[in-house]
Structure 1
Amino acid sequence: MAGVAQIIGLTAGLWLIGLGVWMGLRPRQALGVLAAMGSSPAIHFGEMAVRALIGAAIIGAAELSHAPLILTVFGGFLIVSALVLAVLPRRWHSTYSTWWAARIPVTAVRLIAPFSVVGGAALIWALQPTWPS
């Protein structure tokens, strides 16, 4: 089961890298997608399900990783935040996303993009198993 968890976590790391590249190249599109978060039940609950799945996978793979405590805490945060957002009114999520998308400058999206790339690379590195010496 740890192998499946690791694959899901590594996929999430690659997604973060791709997201960062996309944000850098197409910041206006990224803001448009941000504005749409929570806009429908399918988008809202789909996002929460993926967030919780990735959190569970990161926790499942943490024990054999380079950073078990950090990954366990991070995975737990993803799960708890998904559960909290899932029980709050969806319109709150939609309003919050729309509010931020209208206020974040395009330049800021480009400046934030490298953090997504670095975060994805760090997640991939951290999820690599440590081998006994």
Structure 2
Amino acid sequence: MIAIGAQGTAVALGLWMIGLGVLMAVAPRRALAALAAMGGTARVHFGEMGLRLIAGAALMVVSGASRFPQALWLIGAFLIVSAVVLMLLPRRWHSAYSRWWAARIPVWAVRVVAPTSVLIGAVLIWTVV
């Protein structure tokens, strides 16, 4: 039952990456505004970290039944460790870092990397299904 839930969560993560790529392609300024908002409030900060923890745990659980078990396990572990680190650091650092990047990434670059997000999402779904 846990494995099925982890697989569903991994597929949802893949769909999220595809949706993010579409947003980046069609509304890059909106994507940059969303990036700038990360860590802006405690709810957004801890909500993002909670979702990151769930996604990381799902990838680790489903990794054994995937096409690339070591890669998914490492990515899941990275997501979990990075979420814990960000939860322990002052939220204002996360907020400042997000705003700093959002102000420096050009709109054209967001559109250029958008297909990468779509590809990552599709490969993730293919890997776990």
TM-score between the two structures when normalised by the length of structure 2? 0.98
Report which of the two has the higher share of helix: 2
> What is the percentage of aligned positions where both structures have the same residue?
55
**How far does residue 125 in structure 1 lie from its aligned partner after superposition?**
1.1
Q: How does 1:1-133 map to 2 (within 5 A)?
A: 1-128=2-129
Deviations 1:16-75 (A, max 9, x none): 001000110000000111110000000000000000100000111111111111100110
Structure whose CA Rg is larger: 1
Give the root-mean-square deviation of aligned CA atoms. Answer: 0.5
Supply the distance in 2 between the matched residues of 1:92 and 1:122 (Cα, whole angstroms): 32
Alignment length (residue pairs)? 128
**How far does residue 109 in structure 1 lie from its aligned partner after superposition?**
0.4
Q: Which runs of 4+ in 1 moved over 6 A?
A: none
**Unaligned stretches of 5+ in structure 1?**
129-133
TM-score between the two structures when normalised by the length of structure 1? 0.95
- Aligned residue for 1:5, secondary structure, equals helix
Supply the distance in 1 between the matched residues of 2:126 and 2:82 (Cα, whole angstroms): 24
